[in-house]
Structure 1
Amino acid sequence: MTQRIEGIIPVMITPFNADGTIDMEGTARLVDWYIENGSDALFAVCQSSEMQFLSLEERVALARHVVEVADGRVPVIASGHVSDGLVQQAEELNAVAATGVDGLVLVTNRLDAGQKGGRAFLDDLDRLLGELPAEMPLGLYECPAPCRRLLSDDELTYCARSGRFGILKDVSCDLETVTRRVALTEGTPLAIVNANAAIAHAAMKVGARGFTGVFTNFHPDLYKWLLTKGAAHPELAEDLAIFLALAAMAEPMGYPKLAKHYHQRLGTFGHAGSRTVDVDIFEKFWALEPLLEHIETGTARFRARIAATA
C-alpha cells in the first residue's frame, strides 16, 4: 500500500541565474537549507517552482537534481503537470516519474480541464492512471493556477480508497473542509496536508498531517515545532501560530520573488530573478524591505523562545 507523505513539506522555489537559466548550485544549497531546517519532504516542480514557466526539459532536470541532492535524506515529490490534453499530461508526468522522485503529484485542475462536470474528473483520472507506472506513489494538488479546482467529497473518497494516493495538498483554506476531509480519509494512505497559514495550527489540531504552504520557504522549522511540540507548549504555540499567519500575509507582495529576495538575504543563492514576477517588487510594494526584516527578526525571536523550552 502507498505510504503517506506527510509533515512539513516545502513548496520549492526555483533559483535562476542572471541569464535566466536554472541555478542548479543555488538549488542544491536551497535543498540543504530546507532539510537543515526540519523539512520532512520536498515538493519540487510545483507552482512555487514556477512550473508553468518551465519547459518540460527544465522540469525534468530540476526534479532529477533535487532527488540527487536530497540523496535519500527526505522524500522528494514533484508535479510538473501543466498540459491541457491527457496525452501530453501522461508524457510530462511519466518524464518526471523517471527522474527517481518518491511521489508524483497530479494537479486537480488539469483533470476535467473542460469543466464538463459529472464523472468527467474521475474518467480523466482513470485514463491518466492507466498511463502512469503502477508502482509510483501519487499525490493530488489543488493548485490555484490557472484555477482552483477543489475535490468533491466523492472524488476525494474515490482517490483515498484506491490506495494509490499518499497526499492531498489541501488548498480549500477552510478549517471545516479540512476537518471533513480528515474524517473521509481515515484508515486510508491519503494524508491531508493543509497549505494555508491562517489555519495551519487549527488544521494540525483536527488531524491534518502537516503543512505545505508557501512560507515553508521562510521558516519551515517553526511549522515543524508547531506540528511536533506545539501541544506541549500551548501558550507559545498560539503566539507562534499568530506570527506565522501574519507573516504569510506578505505572500501577495510578489511571491515567489519575495521568497527569493529573502534567500538572498540568507545567502542561499545570489539572484532573485523570477519568470512569474517580472516587476521590481520593492518599487511596487512600498516598505517591503522593512517587512522582510520584521519577518526575519520575528523568526529569530521565536527560534530563541523555542530553544528555551528544550
Structure 2
Amino acid sequence: MSKKSKGYIPVMLTPFTESGAVDFAGLTKLTELYLRAGAAGLFANCQSSEMFNLSGEEMLAVTEHVLRIADGAVPVVATGTFGGPVEKQADFVKQLYGTGVEAVIVITNMLTEESESAALFDERFGQLLDATPGIPLGFYECPEPFKRVLTAEQLKRFVGTGRVIYHKDTCLDIEQIKAKLDATRGVADFGLYDAYMVHAVESLKAGSAGLSCIQGNYYPELIVWLCNHYDNNESADQVAIVQQFFIDHMDIMHAVYPVVAKYFLQKRGLPISTFTRKNAGVFDETVKKRVDLFYLQFRQLLEQIELIPNGMMLS
C-alpha cells in the first residue's frame, strides 16, 4: 500500500437493500466510483462498512466481491480481528487473507480491553504475529467501541518486524502523526494513512503516505485531487480553499453517518439505498436540508477549482 506518490484509500461503505441484505450490485457501482476517482487502494470491511453489523460470512463475501471488481487494479485490505481469544482472531485473519487481500487489518481495540495495558497489547499482538506466519498486517485505530491509539515507539517496533505494512491513524493530533512518521521513516513497504482531514495538508507534507477518511465517501475525487496537489505551488490558493472546505463541513459529514454519505451519493447519481444496519441517528428533514446545502456548496467548489469528476454523474 506504500507508494512514493500520495494516495487515497477509501474506507468503503456497504450498500444494503431496503430489506437489509447486502446490495452487491450497489457495491459494484460504489467500488467502480472509487476506482474512477483515482483511489490508490481500497479498505473493505471497515467501520464505514458497518463491519460490526456484518456476519463473518458477509465480511468474507463483501471482501471477495470488492476484490473481483477491483480485479488487481489496486491493492485491497480488510479488517480481520473482532475480539475473543487470539487464536480465534488468528483463524479469521487466515480466512480473510485467503480471499486475496494485500493485508489484513488489526483493530487496535480488539486485542485488549480499554483498561488493559499497552504492554499486554504488545504481548498479544506478538501472539497474533506468531499465529499468522507470513501474512502482512496493518493497524486501524478504530474509534468504536473505544479508541486505542498506538505510540510512535510501538508502531516503530511493529513495523520493524517486517509484517506491518499499513496504518490507518485516527489520533487527530498532528504532532503524534509526525512522531509516528519519524519513527517509521525509510521503511519502504509501510505507509501511514491519516484519517483526520482537519490537518490533511500538513500531514501529507509531513510524510504521510496518503489519506483514508470518511470524506471520501462523499467526494473521493476531491481527496485524490488534494493528494495530487497539496505541495504544488501553482495550486496553493486552491489547496487552501479545499482544506478549509473540509474543516468547515466536518460536522455535517459526521452527523447521522453513514446515512448522510449514502444520501449524498444518491444525489450524485449512485443507485444505492440509504439503509444502514447500525443505529446512526435520525435522518430528519433538518439534517436532509443541511446535506442538500452541503451538496450545492460541493458543486460550487468543483467549479472554483475546475475539477471535473471522472465518470460520476452530478444531478
Q: How big is the shift at 1:284?
A: 6.4
Deviation for aligned residue 1:239: 1.1
Q: What is the CA deviation profile of residues 5-53 of structure 1, one whole-angstrom value per residue up to 9, with x for unaligned ones?
A: 7610000000001111100010011000001011100000000000011
The RMSD of aligned alpha carbons is: 2.0
> Is residue 2:239 matched to residue 1:268?
no
Moved beyond 6 Å, runs of 4+: none
Contact 1:103 1:137 survives alignment (8 Å): yes
Name the CA shift for 1:273/1:303 in 2 (closer, same or farther; >3 Å). Answer: farther
**Mean Cα displacement is larger for which, 140-149 or 78-87?**
78-87
2:195 is matched with 195
In structure 1, what residue type is equivalent to 2:58?
E
Residue 51 of structure 1 contacts residue 82 of structure 1 at CA under 8 Å; is this kept in 2? no
1:304 to 1:19, Cα distance in 2 relative to 1, 3 A: same
Per-residue CA shift, 1:67-109, capped at 9, x if unaligned?
0110011111100422233233122222211111111111111
Report the alpha carbon displacement of residue 289 of structure 1 after superposing the two structures with TM: 3.8
State the secondary structure of the residue aligned to 1:130: helix
Task: Map 1:1-310 onto structure 2 (within 5 A).
Answer: 4=2, 7-113=7-113, 115-134=115-134, 136-188=135-187, 189-232=189-232, 233-277=235-279, 279-283=281-285, 285=287, 287-302=289-304, 304=306
SS of the residue corresponding to residue 61 of structure 1 reads helix
1:153-208, Cα deviation, whole Å (9 max, x unpaired): 32111112111111110101111111111101012232221100101111111111
The structural deviation recorded for 1:276 is: 1.3
Inter-partner Cα distance in structure 2 for 1:111 and 1:77: 19
Q: Which amino acid aligns with 1:28?
A: T
Deviates more, 1:113-122 or 1:6-15: 113-122
- Structure 2 segments unaligned to the other structure (5+ residues): 310-315
Indicate conservation of the 8 Å contact 1:247/1:295, yes or no.
no
Task: Give a deviation string over 1:102-160, Cα, whole Å, max 9, x none.
Answer: 111111111223632152111100111122241x3211110101111000232111112
Shift of 1:279: 4.6
Matched residue SS, 1:169: strand
TM-score norm. by structure 2 comes to: 0.90
Give the distance between the partners of 1:178 and 1:222, measured in 2 at CA: 22
Hey, what's the Cα distance between the residues in 1 that align with 2:226 and 2:192? 17
One-letter amino acid matched to 2:239: A
Q: Distance in 1 between matches of 2:8 and 2:273?
A: 26
User: Against the structure 1 CA distance between its residues 118 and 216, is the aligned structure 2 distance closer, same or farther, given a 3 Å change threshold?
Assistant: closer
**Do the aligned residues in 2 keep the contact of 1:222 with 1:303 (CA within 8 Å)?**
no
- TM-fit CA distance, 1:210: 0.6
Distance 1:280 1:49, change over 3 A: same
* CA distance 1:43–1:276, shift in 2 (3 Å): same
For 1:133 and 1:24, the matched residues in 2 are separated by: 32
Give, in whole Å, the separation in 2 of the partners of 1:113 and 1:137. Answer: 24
Distance 2:125 2:40 in 1: 28
- Distance in 2 between residues matched to 1:94 and 1:302, nearest whole Å: 47
Any stretches of 5+ residues in structure 1 without a counterpart?
none
The one-letter code sitting in structure 2 at the alignment partner of 1:105 is: I
Partners of 2:302 and 2:308 within 8 A in 1: no
Structure 1 residues 16 and 305: CA distance shift in structure 2, 3 A: closer
Output one character per residue of 1:189-235: Cα deviation in whole Å (capped at 9) or x when no partner.
32221100101111111111110010111222222222222322211
> What secondary structure does 2:104 align onto?
strand
Residue equivalent to 2:313? none
The answer on whether the counterparts of 1:46 and 1:80 sit within 8 Å (CA) in structure 2 is no
Structure 1: distance between partners of 2:287 and 2:184 = 41
Q: Secondary structure at the match of 1:140?
A: strand
Structure 1 residues 151 and 118: alpha-carbon distance in aligned structure 2, compared to 1, 3 A threshold: closer
Q: State the TM-score, normalized to the length of structure 1.
A: 0.91
Distance 2:148 2:118 in 1: 14
